[in-house]
Amino acid sequence: MTAQELRRKYIAFFVEHGHAEIAGKSLVPENDPTVLFTTAGMHPLVPYILGEEHPGGTRLVNYQKCIRTGDIEDVGDSSHLTFFEMLGNWSLGDYFKQESIRMSFEFLTSPQWLNIPIDRLAVTVFAGDDEVPRDDESAELWRELGIPEERIYFLGREDNWWGPAGQTGPCGPDTEIFYDTGMPGTAESRPGISDGKWMEIWNNVFMQYNKQADGSYQPMERKCVDTGMGVERTSTVLQGKASVYQTELFTPVIASLEGLSGVRYGDSEERDNSIRIISDHIKTAVFLIGDEAGVVPSNLGQGYVLRRLIRRALRHGRKVGLEDAFLEKPAAIVVDMYAEVYPRLQQQRDAIMQELGKEEEKFMRTLRNGEREFQKMLPNLERNPKREIPGRLAFKLYDTYGFPIEVTEELAAEHGLTVDRDGFDQAFRKHQEKSKMDDNQTFKGGLADHSEMTTRLHTATHLLHQALRDVLGDHVHQKGSNITQERLRFDFNHPDKMTPEQIAEVERIVNEKIQADLPVVMETMTLQEARDKGSIAIFSDRYEEVVKVYRIGDYSMEVCGGPHVQHTAELGNFKIKKEQSSSAGVRRIKAVVS
C-alpha cells in the first residue's frame, strides 16, 4: 500500500465514522512562540483541546506535515526523520476510550482497511503511579478485541502519558500500538525499546485530567481524544520494508542522488548514511521554503534550522563526491512527488529552487572563506610539535566562519595534522547550552497557555492590522506574528519604512478603538461567506470550509482561531515599541499593552 493510498483510506475510514476532514496547517505554528515548528498533528488543535469550539465540530480527521529537530544528529538511520506526516483523528468532548480504541483496531485489522494480522500487534497502556491510577479500562478493551495478555504492556509516564502543554492544563494517559517487524531484537525486546523488533505505528491520547497549580489532577468533564499515526512508518510496515528510505517516499530522491554522484546506494554503509541524510534534509528544506510561512535561510529561528539542514546536506554531498551545486534536481523530484497532496509546493517551485540555489552559493563562499582562514593559521599550526589543531581554533572556524568540522579535519589531514576533536566537542557543547538558554528566554510563554496577557495581545493584533491598512493602504496584509507574555510581534508587507507620523497615527487609532470598548463577537460561517462580508482571510489555504470570524465592533473583521477578549477596553493602553525591517518588502512592529 502506497503512502497516498494510506492517507486516502485513513481519511475515508474516519469520515465514515462521522469525522469532518479538516486541512493540515503550516509547519510554522501560528501565534505560538513556544516552539519553532509544528511537531505533531495535535499541535494546531491545542486551542480546541483546551476548550474552544472547532468550526468542523467535535469529530475531526486530517493529515498534517510536521518537523522535529531534536534528533537531527540521528537522521541517517533506518527510521529517524526531520520532516514527516501524521495522520490524526480527534474527539473534542465526544467519544472517549471505548470508541477510540475500537476504531483504531478496526482500521488496522479489518480486511477492508489495512488488514494487519492481530498476532503482529502489541499495545502499551499507562501503568499508574501515586498520582493517577492504572489505565485498566484501556487494557480491558484491548483484551476484548483479542490482544492477548502477554502483548499488553503496562508502562510508566515516560512511555504512556501526555501533557500538559504547560505547567497546568489538560493531560492524560495514552495507549500506543506497535507492529512486530519480524526482526529478532534483543533479550529485553518489548514495545518501547528501540531494538528493531517493535515499531510504534499509532498513539491514542486520552485527555481526561486537568493538572492544577498545586500539582493535583482533577478529572475533566469534557474529555478529549487525540490520536496520531505516522505516514512514513506505517507505509514501511505495510510494504514489508526494513527502512522508511526503502519506500516510494524516498527511493526517487535516492535514485537521483545515485545518478548525480555515481555512487550506488547499498554498497557502503558510510555513503548510504550520507545519502539518507541528504534525502531527508532536502525534503525538509523543500517543505519549509514552500510552506505557507515561506521560511528562508537565515541566522535566526526557523531560518537558522533551514540553513543548517541545507548546509548539512551539502556537506554530506561532498562525502559522496558532489563538490558542486546539486540540490535542484532532487528538490524538483520532491516537489513532483508531493504535488498532488500539497499543491502549494508546485506553486512555489521557482521560489524553492531560487532559495536553495542562493544558499548553495553562500555555502560555497563560506567554504572558500574558511579555507582562506585555515591557510592563515597553517604556518603556526605546522610549527606546533603536536601537529594538532586545537579544539578552540576548530570551533572558531565553525562558529565564526560556518566552516564544518569535517572539512577542517579533511584539510588538516592533507597537511599531516590532526584536530583536537574532544576540545572542539567541548566548545560545541558549551555553545549548545548557551543557545538552549537563549531559546528558553526567547520562546517562553505563548498562546498555547491561553493566558490573559497573550489573549489581550492577540486581540490587539486585529486592531493593529486594520489600523495599518487604514494608514498605509489596503495592500497591507499580515505575514506572520509571534506573541509572548511580554509583547506582540506583527509582520506585514509594506515596501517602505514607516514614518514617525504614520506610527503615531496607527497607535492613536488602536487606542481609540480600545477606549471605545467595542464588543468582540465570534461567528461561524463558510470561508466564502466570510469573504463576501469583507472579512480579512490572509492564510486562505490554511482554513477549513467553515471558519470562525471575529468582529470587533464595526471596525475589524477577520478569520481567526482565537483566543480573544470580549471587549476592547480589556486591552488597556497600546504602545508601539519598535518598527523595523523583517525581510525584503516585509516590515515588523513590536508592541505592548499595559
The secondary structure of 309-346 as a DSSP string is HHHHHHHHHHHTT--S---HHHHHHHHHHHTTT-HHHH
Strand partners, 536: 558
What is the CB neighbour count within 10 angstroms for residue 221? Answer: 8
Pairing mode, strands 59-67 and 20-21: parallel
Strand partners, 61: 21, 89
Sign (positive or negative) of CA dihedral 256, 261, 267, 268: negative
The secondary structure of 42-80 as a DSSP string is TGGGHHHHTTPPPTT-SEEEEEEEEE--TTGGGTTSSS-
All residues at 6 or more sequence positions from 577 whose CB lies less than 8 Å from its CB, including other chains: 487, 590, 591, 592
Q: Degrees (nearest 5) of the Cα angle 361, 362, 368?
A: 90
Four-point Cα dihedral 313, 327, 76, 67, nearest 10: 90
Do 547 and 524 form a contact (C-beta atoms < 8 A)? Answer: yes
> Per the omega criterion (within 30 degrees of 0), is the bond before 164 cis?
yes
Question: According to the annotation, is 458 in a ligand binding site?
Answer: yes
Sign (positive or negative) of CA dihedral 295, 429, 80, 311: positive
Q: CA 449: distance to chain centroid?
A: 18
Alpha helical stretches, state H, 402-499: 405-414, 421-442, 452-472
Strand partners, 182: none
All residues at 6 or more sequence positions from 108 whose CB lies less than 8 Å from its CB, including other chains: 114, 116, 121, 177, 201, 202
C-alpha distances out from residue 524 to 23, 68, 108, 459, 548, Å: 17, 33, 35, 18, 5
SS3 579: strand
Question: According to the annotation, is 462 in a ligand binding site?
Answer: yes
Binding-site members are 458, 462, 560, 564
Binding-site members for Zn(2+) are 458, 462, 560, 564
